[in-house]
Amino acid sequence: MKNNNAINTSPLILSAEILTGIPEIQDIEFHKKIYLAVKKGTFEKLSKKSKTNPKKELKLMEKTFTELGWGEIKNIDMQQESKKAIIILKNSPLAASLKGKTKLPADVLLRGALAGIFSKIFNEDIDCVESECSALQGKQCKFIIKPKTEFDFSNKIVQDQLSHE
């Protein structure tokens, strides 16, 4: 299979029903570990590429997310200078599968992937918080991406998703 996606790897296609087993576990510390593992793996895979063209990477990311069935990226507000981004994701199959069944944001795997992708794009350690989740009564999934030091750790959403270390 041709490698034509954001992280330049052969995709593993799994149904949302199979993948929901991970975010279905209602353990904040478990979610943080999964997030960090996916972030690290994504960043390491991307680091094997020599150069990053941010606009090209974002277009490829949008295409890849849709092709792999992760949902449809509707908006990317990227601020290259301040190393921040906001992404709106519609039709997340994980969020749809977990609607009404979770108390935690559903897209922990996606958060990790976004953190790894943007760490490479911004050439800095970047983190990601899902501030709105359609599994938790949100209309869409909204991801805030920026350096960890920029997050407000007095906010429960941030506390539940990022380690303050």
What the chain holds in terms of domains, given with CATH numbers, is 17-154 (3.30.1380.20)
Residue type, 96: A
| CA angle 77–69–79, rounded 5-degree value | 10
Distance separating alpha carbons of residues 21 and 2, to the nearest angstrom: 28
pTM beyond 0.85: the answer is yes
Which residue positions in the chain have pLDDT lower than 70? 1-18, 50, 52
Q: Tens digit of pLDDT for each residue in 67-110?
A: 888 888 887 899 989 999 999 999 998 898 889 889 999 999 99
Asked if 114 contacts 41 with a C-beta cutoff of 8 angstroms, the reply is no
Give residue for tokens 């997050």: 151
What distance in Å separates the CA atoms of residue 121 and residue 79, rounded to the nearest whole number? 11
Per-residue pLDDT at 7: 47
Beta bridge partners of 159: none
Distance from the first to the final alpha carbon of the chain: 40
Encoded tokens for 112: 């990790």
Neighbouring residues of 12: CB distance < 8 A, sequence distance ≥ 6: none
